[in-house]
Amino acid sequence: MVWSWRRKAKETQFLSEDKNKDYYMESKNVANLNKMSGENFEIFLRDLFIYAGYDAELTQKFKDDGIDIILTYGKEKVAIQAKRWDPFKTYKLVDKDIVNGLVSGARRRGIEKTCIITTTFFTDNAQAIAKQEKMELIDGRRLYYLIAKIKPESLAEAYFETLGYTKCPDCRSGIPKKRKSKSEFIGCTNFPKCGYTMNISDYELQYGKKQFL
């Protein structure tokens, strides 16, 4: 790979604690990368890199030379382009023109290392040029592998939620569970530490008919 993804994460650094930034690494976003807007996909990747311990910043929306994110570590920089396409709705692949465009844009900015990250895949011509230019290519499959290496808990939670379960809206670690006193209601599996309760019909109205224990 062009650079190492094994850099230790900054355990105390969560963008959600920064009021000037949005935090997109929630499990609901990990499970729905294909449905994100292009802008939100860029933010998600920026947050992922920062969580991994790198300095990452978004470029301006216009005249960006085909660069969406600039990743910095030490004295080196990596120009990254993000392509968020839904492979279930479009058969678009990242082609050689996109690869060539990023190479040219990075050179204009004096950046040697480049990378394209997509939720779909790359054409054979794009892969051939990228290999020649020593560009890192991360397709949809490798992207989830990358997430699993950097923040595996997000991927695990995303899979868990696809099964129909949801986290307790109060403590965010327990699971809504059907309980019974005088009548049935929804409580948290972390009870008594978490005292969350809700009427079953109100719960289903607000969250849909999610499964609960």
Q: For residues 156 and 96, which has the higher predicted lDDT (pLDDT)?
A: 96
The pLDDT tens digits for 11-27 are 333 333 443 444 566 66
Which residue spans of the chain are classified as CATH 3.40.1350.10? 27-163
Average pLDDT over residues 166-180: 81
Task: State yes or no: pLDDT of 160 exceeds 80.
Answer: no
Residue listed under structure tokens 């080196």: 76
Average pLDDT over residues 155-168: 71
Note the pLDDT of residue 209.
Answer: 61
Q: For residues 78 and 36, which has the higher predicted lDDT (pLDDT)?
A: 78
Task: State yes or no: pLDDT of 149 exceeds 90.
Answer: no
**CA atoms of 184 and 187, how far apart (whole Å):** 10
Task: State yes or no: pLDDT of 41 exceeds 50.
Answer: yes
Q: Confidence class of residue 208 from pLDDT cuts 50, 70 and 90?
A: low
Q: Confidence class of residue 77 from pLDDT cuts 50, 70 and 90?
A: very high
Q: Select 27-163's CATH number: 3.50.40.10, 3.20.20.370, 3.40.1350.10, 3.40.50.300.
A: 3.40.1350.10
In terms of Cβ atoms closer than 10 Å to its own Cβ (0-12, 13-18, 19+), residue 84 is buried
Q: Confidence class of residue 2 from pLDDT cuts 50, 70 and 90?
A: very low
Strand 176-180 with 113-118, pairing: unpaired
**CA atoms of 80 and 77, how far apart (whole Å):** 10
Return the number of other C-beta atoms located less than 10 Å from residue 47's C-beta. 22
Range scoring the smallest mean pLDDT among 2-6, 37-41, 132-136, 150-154: 2-6
- Whether omega before 176 lies within 30 degrees of 0, making that bond cis, reads no
| Bridge partner residues of 209 (DSSP) | none
Note the pLDDT of residue 113.
Answer: 93
Counted residue by residue, the chain has a size of 213
Note the pLDDT of residue 74.
Answer: 83
Both tokens assigned to 37: 């807007």
Note the pLDDT of residue 115.
Answer: 96
In terms of Cβ atoms closer than 10 Å to its own Cβ (0-12, 13-18, 19+), residue 181 is exposed
Q: Is the pTM of this model over 0.75?
A: no
Task: State yes or no: pLDDT of 6 exceeds 70.
Answer: no
| Bridge partner residues of 80 (DSSP) | 69, 115
CA proximity to 94, closest of 52, 43, 155, 137? 137
